[in-house]
Amino acid sequence: LHKRYDIPPMYMHAIADLFAESERFHTLAPYKNAIPNVRKLYEAGHRIVAVTACLDSEITKRLRYDNLKMHFGNAISEIHYVGVHGSKSDILHKIKPDVFVDDLINHLNGAPESTSKYLMLQPWNKDELFSETNHSGYLDRVVSDLNFLVDMYC
């Protein structure tokens, strides 16, 4: 993001921390088509678990919880938090999801081998996705919305 907005890297953590405890964090929009698709998956009997990387403060966790509940209601059965730079790997290995969707490639890398892994294409991950690093070993597909999950699992 520092390149996109021409912000010196040394200020990015402070800006991210301020944002994570602001009311704007509570109003983050979900992925494109996520609300109806998560609802369809839930109604089809699938268990939806959120694993979110956010600032490790009670304020931020409460804002994130409120945000997810506002958009998805009871469709999300559990919410797990890791720090902003934390790994989701331990939680993913504990819950062993069939499918994992994330917008950061490094989080997908930590998922169990048996989990289908999908990268949600976002403006902030395009440079990472098309870098010289080969991600094919732990990335099943790049997606732009969650329609494919409903097509596959409902």
What is the pLDDT, as a whole number, of residue 132? Answer: 46
Q: Report H helices in 6-124.
A: 9-20, 23-26, 34-43, 58-72, 89-95, 105-109
Q: Mean pLDDT across the stretch 113-130? A: 79
Say if CB 111 and CB 97 are below 8 A apart.
Answer: yes
What pTM was computed for the model? 0.80
List all residues 6 or more positions away from 90 whose beta carbon is below 8 Å from its beta carbon: none
pLDDT tens, residue by residue, 89-105: 999 999 999 999 998 88
Report the distance separating Cα 34 and Cα 145, nearest Å.
7
List all residues 6 or more positions away from 92 whose beta carbon is below 8 Å from its beta carbon: 51, 100, 110, 111, 112, 115
**Per-residue confidence at 13, pLDDT binned at 50, 70, 90?**
low
Residue 24 has pLDDT above 80, yes or no: no
**Per-residue confidence at 6, pLDDT binned at 50, 70, 90?**
confident
List all residues 6 or more positions away from 124 whose beta carbon is below 8 Å from its beta carbon: 1, 4, 103
